[in-house]
Amino acid sequence: MSQYFIRRALISIPLFLGITFIVFGIYAMAPGDPLVAILGRENMALMSPAQLQKARQDFGLDQPWPVRYVKWLGQAVRGDLGYPASGSKSVIEHLQERLGPTLLLMGASLLLAVLVGIPMGIVMALRQYSWLDYALTIIAFANLSIPSFFVGLGFIYIFALKLNWLPTYGMTTVGEPFSLIDVARHLVMPAVILGLFNAGVWARYARSSMLEVLNAEYVTTARAKGLKSRVVIIRHAFRNALLPLITVITQSLPNLLGGAVITETIFQWPGMGMLSWRATTTRDYSMLMGVTLISATMILISNLIADLAYAWADPRIRYD
């Protein structure tokens, strides 16, 4: 197992370099002048060519992008991701600041999705073609097909404005001392919206995966042996149905740190999603690369977690 770990870690290095190189290149080659986004077109119109050239130098835009990539990489390995196009905080400081809120929101939504989606899928499979199956299928499809901005605004209108049960937006109440209950109240709406979306997707996967397993011969054998229905479902069927679910769920793990752009923006949740949205709209390459770095790391880690989880779920899989 340890050899497997080392091998995977070594493979991750060129993979990681490849991801950052390609992303850097795409950002750099995207049409448009990033300086326009930074300075504004009207301001640029009144700057002298020397000033414009200096501004390009200040933002490191005067050199070919491969050179800029090597410089960025050199700084990044020393823990310096530079400064964004504007503001007093470094990229690292921004990322650190966003990490907690993002983990909280995405962790809560992930938990909710697992607790709702997977049981829902199992029930749907066990009651295949029943009214319950149809009803839950409709709910699952509604969850994943209604756009999150629509649900978000609807929730705000009903639960914050009309019923006044929950705060409208943000992570804490402005002007109030910090409290966990306050954060939890702010967390409810964004976490439920994100969680229900994922629950809808995972319920569908869980249903089809369970259906496949329920018809397998070893399940029939287990039943024939006179095992209790619960034991058959949980120990024999569900464990084997887990493999595709592990793939789907671990694929969602990078989102834990990548954030949810739309939901975070609607609820003004100060997470990674909002940061990347702002960085994209302002063509802030330093910040975008910082976010990419986090996402790439998370993708590699989640792939590793997936492999380990396969081995746990299916005893036939060994990495020695």
Partner 1 sequence: MDRSGIRVLFSLIMLSLVLVATACSTQSAPQVVEKVVPVRETVIVEREKIVEKAVEKQVQVVVTATPPTRAAPPTTRQAGGTINIWLPNGWPEQSWPHTSNWESSWAISPMAEPLFFVKPDGNLEPMLGESVTASADGLKWTLKLRKGVKWSDGQPFKADDYVFGIQARFSPEKKPPSELRAGRTIKGMRDYVDGKTQTIEGIKVVDEVTVEFSLDSKDATLRNLWFGDTGIRPLPKHALGNVAFKDMGTDKYWITNPVGTGPYKFVKYVTDQYIEYERNPQYWDDKPRADKLFMRISNPEVAIVSLQKGEIDLINPLALTEVGRLKSDLKIDILEAKNNAQWYGLERNFFTKGGLWRNPKAIQGLLYSIDRQAYVDSILQGYGVVRHSFYDGTPYACPTMKKYDYNPEQGKKLLEEAGVPKDKVISFMSWIGIKARLDYLPIAQEYVRKLGYKSEVDIIDNSLINDYVQGKGPRAKDWDFHVLLFGPGLDPGAPESFVDPKSTSNLGYRSWPEAPGADGKKAPGWVYDNPKMSELFKQGREESDPQKRTAIYQQIDCIWNEELPAIMTASPSFIAAKSTRLQGVDWTTNASLGQWTLMYKPGDFWIAK
Residues engaged in binding partner 1 (CB under 8 A): 31-34, 36-41, 43-52, 54-55, 58-59, 83, 86-90, 94, 97, 127, 130-132, 135, 139, 153, 156-158, 160-164, 168-172, 174-175, 265-268, 270, 274, 278, 282-283
**Which lies closer to partner 1 via its Cβ, residue 190 or residue 254?**
190
Provide the 10 A C-beta neighbour count for residue 281.
9
Nearest approach in angstroms of CB 250 to partner 1 is: 29
Give the residue with the Cβ less far from partner 1, 240 or 265: 265
Chain centroid to CA 158:
27
Q: How far is the CB of 258 from partner 1 (least distance, A)?
A: 17
DSSP 39-105: H-HHHHHTS-HHHHHHHHHHTT-SS-HHHHHHHHHHHHHTT-----SSSSS-HHHHHHHHHHHHHHH
Angstrom distance (rounded) from CA 314 to CA 254: 23
Q: For the CB of residue 252, give the shortest distance to partner 1 in the complex, in Å.
A: 24
Q: How far is the CB of 143 from partner 1 (least distance, A)?
A: 12
**Shortest distance (Å) from residue 295 CB to partner 1:** 19
**Closest separation in Å from C-beta 234 to partner 1:** 19
Nearest to partner 1 of 149, 312 (CB atom): 149
Burial bucket for residue 274 (CB in 10 Å: 0-12, 13-18, 19+): buried
Copy the structure tokens of residue 17: 């370099």
Terminal-residue alpha carbon distance, the chain: 5
Q: Which is nearer to partner 1, 270 or 300 (CB)?
A: 270
Q: Which is nearer to partner 1, 3 or 88 (CB)?
A: 88
Long-range CB contacts (< 8 A, 24+ apart) of 73-78?
Answer: 73/17, 73/20, 76/289, 76/293
In the complex, minimum distance from the CB of residue 148 to partner 1, in angstroms, rounded to a whole number:
13
C-alpha pair distances (Å), 40 with each of 37, 139, 215: 6, 46, 63
Nearer to partner 1 (CB atom), residue 55 or residue 227: 55
139 and 162 Cβ atoms separated by less than 8 Å: no
Question: In angstroms, what CA-CA distances link 197 with 42, 116, 270, 284?
Answer: 42, 11, 20, 30
The residue among 39 and 104 lying less far from partner 1, judged by its C-beta, is: 39
> In this structure, are residues 275 and 98 in contact, taking their beta carbons and an 8 Å threshold?
yes
